[in-house]
Chains A and B, each alone.
Chain A
């Protein structure tokens, strides 16, 4: 480590300490993920990333026995998605109605140390987008853009299907306090995690009020043959198609040599 870093840290610390805080408590969150860049190999069967953090206080011994609450929201890359509902028409089940979700996260996970409804009152939850039911999922209905109420059937079906695939996740007991100020949470990443950058937002509450928040991020990259194939198919469709066709010809030709009977 160079000599400048500790000095910088000291200056920062002094600066933080010197801030006029008007008597109020000032908490600061310091967080770190166990791996900022994850490369997923083809035989990756799902795993877990660990987020560590500590709550720094300028008042080392809080007089009030206030307990801290943490809500960690992990948001993956975004995409447009269509949710369709089947209905019975002419005796068969067909896709009838649909909603388009605009730029919604492909991966979304919310972790907290206890149920979110007991952490903050409803208006705070809504304003801070705490919990999957409050995260904004914009829908397009005809020409209108809106996020509808959280019990809308398309929205809840969307969340349910994503949860079944392990891509949406809510766990009210995932954040564990190791000491009153040191915490950790596991971020489960299923095998089908999309590649891209993930934002992690950590919000600290006490008594239903937001004290402070911080952000970090990590990146998921996939390597290996399967990912190469997937990228090729998406980015160079025509070449990929021609190569697949050639592969078909090759294997057909090989078979005719190997199994030639006439």
Chain B
């Protein structure tokens, strides 16, 4: 029993839920709606959506550290749905996935270690914000640029050029080559492992699946065919995000399972509608739209860094609380 005169929550019958780890009460409907909105966008564009989910959570007042750590488990759930569906369609290259994972797990461990280190010196929020600015403005800018070019090309009646040309880049000259049968490429493991490390690291520090960087890298750098690229990337996201969830929970205790569950429920539902909506819009416009969205989130972070915060001081509990 709460002590005397316990007030009823103002916003009606229990839509207010206390997030145990984030340590703030939130409106359940708001979080579900955010999950659904991001799920919609991710379903529409076939992306994980972590790079939108994490910033949104930060914008509604959840601490960046908790947002990153919790979104990792949400990403694991949504990529598992994707991976299962690609597995059934045999659109996953198991060998490529395995080699990527070797790097990915190492990168995730490294990322979580870096996360804990930055948190202990009080610069974690800054690191998260700067990473978002750099990554989102770069990726968003590129996408907008590509989107405009593609639209202009189709206006002029030209056929979009096939990007996957025959010329092999220098990455193909590296040693330790193995054959990735389903992707029909013969490639050194070094760049594959390196990309895995990078994605695992970025994913665990930023709370993103990393698909939106991984897919272009696999296509343009490693010349992985589009047939296997998305499914294989979903496997990497799934495993790195699972590892990140466990490691974040074990080291900094910041994974909010209640928050994650709400996001998952909203996310998977939204994704289904998004996927249907995505089939009705032309690819180029869709990509331009996504580019603008990514760019906007990046700019929002940049502005936040530059303006004087309303509160210059922050408190963090570090010691025993009992």
Question: In the complex, which of the residues A81, A244, A252 contacts B315, with contact meaning CB atoms closer than 8 Å?
Answer: A81
Specify which chain B residues have a CB less than 8 angstroms from the CB of A50 in the assembled complex.
Answer: 4
Residues of A that sit less than 8 Å from B by CB: 34-35, 38-50, 77, 79-88, 91-95, 98, 100, 102-103, 106, 154, 157-158, 160-162, 189, 191-192, 194-196, 225-227, 229-230, 233-234, 237-238, 240-245, 247-249, 251-256, 258-260, 262
Known: A45-B8, A45-B9, A162-B315. A242 touches B246 (CB 8 A): yes
Count: A-B pairs, CB below 8 Å? 230
Q: Considering only CB atoms, which chain A residue lies closest to B121 in the complex?
A: A95
The 30 listed contacts between A and B (C-beta, < 8 Å) are A38-B2, A47-B3, A47-B7, A82-B315, A83-B315, A84-B315, A85-B312, A85-B313, A92-B306, A93-B305, A106-B317, A161-B311, A192-B23, A195-B322, A226-B258, A229-B256, A229-B258, A230-B20, A233-B21, A237-B251, A241-B245, A241-B250, A244-B245, A247-B73, A248-B76, A248-B260, A251-B77, A256-B84, A256-B85, A262-B85
Return B240 CB to nearest CB of chain A, in Å.
12
Specify which chain B residues have a CB less than 8 angstroms from the CB of A77 in the assembled complex.
Answer: 321-322
Known: A38-B3, A240-B255, A256-B81. A245 touches B319 (CB 8 A): no
Inter-chain CA distance A87–B312, complex, in Å, is 8
Give the size category of B's interface with A: 35 or more
A255 near B309 with CB under 8 A, answer no
Check: B247 CB closer than 8 A to any chain A CB: yes
A43 near B3 with CB under 8 A, answer no
A248 near B122 with CB under 8 A, answer no
Return B229 CB to nearest CB of chain A, in Å.
19
Specify which chain B residues have a CB less than 8 angstroms from the CB of A238 in the assembled complex.
Answer: 246, 249-250
Name A's interface SS: mixed
B6 near A47 with CB under 8 A, answer yes
A244 near B313 with CB under 8 A, answer no
Specify which chain A residues have a CB less than 8 angstroms from the CB of B20 in the assembled complex.
Answer: 226-227, 229-230, 233
Closest 3 CB pairs of A and B: A80-B319, A241-B249, A252-B80
Return B26 CB to nearest CB of chain A, in Å.
12
Specify which chain B residues have a CB less than 8 angstroms from the CB of A39 in the assembled complex.
Answer: 1
Specify which chain A residues have a CB less than 8 angstroms from the CB of B85 in the assembled complex.
Answer: 256, 260, 262
Give the contacts of B189-208 with A (CB-CB under 8 A). none
B18 near A252 with CB under 8 A, answer no
Known: A39-B1, A238-B246. A84 touches B260 (CB 8 A): no
Give the contacts of B228-282 with A (CB-CB under 8 A). 238, 241-242, 245-251, 253, 255-258, 260-261, 264-265, 268, 271-272
Question: In the complex, which of the residues B247, B312, B313 contacts A158, with contact meaning CB atoms closer than 8 Å?
Answer: B313
Most chain B beta-carbon neighbours within 10 Å: one of A46, A189, A244: A244
Known: A46-B6, A85-B312. A95 touches B126 (CB 8 A): yes
Inter-chain CA distance A211–B4, complex, in Å, is 31
Give the contacts of B1-46 with A (CB-CB under 8 A). 1-9, 14, 16-21, 23-25
Inter-chain CA distance A92–B305, complex, in Å, is 5
Check: B163 CB closer than 8 A to any chain A CB: no
Question: In the complex, which of the residues B73, B308, B316, B318 contacts A88, with contact meaning CB atoms closer than 8 Å?
Answer: B308
Question: In the complex, which of the residues A45, A160, A258, A262 contacts B88, with contact meaning CB atoms closer than 8 Å?
Answer: A262
B314 near A83 with CB under 8 A, answer yes
Most chain A beta-carbon neighbours within 10 Å: one of B2, B253, B264: B2
Known: A95-B126, A240-B255. A79 touches B321 (CB 8 A): yes
Known: A38-B3, A85-B312, A248-B73. A237 touches B253 (CB 8 A): yes
B4 near A248 with CB under 8 A, answer no
Question: In the complex, which of the residues B4, B78, B122, B305 contacts A82, with contact meaning CB atoms closer than 8 Å?
Answer: B122
Specify which chain B residues have a CB less than 8 angstroms from the CB of A79 in the assembled complex.
Answer: 317-321
B253 near A189 with CB under 8 A, answer no
Most chain B beta-carbon neighbours within 10 Å: one of A162, A189, A255: A255
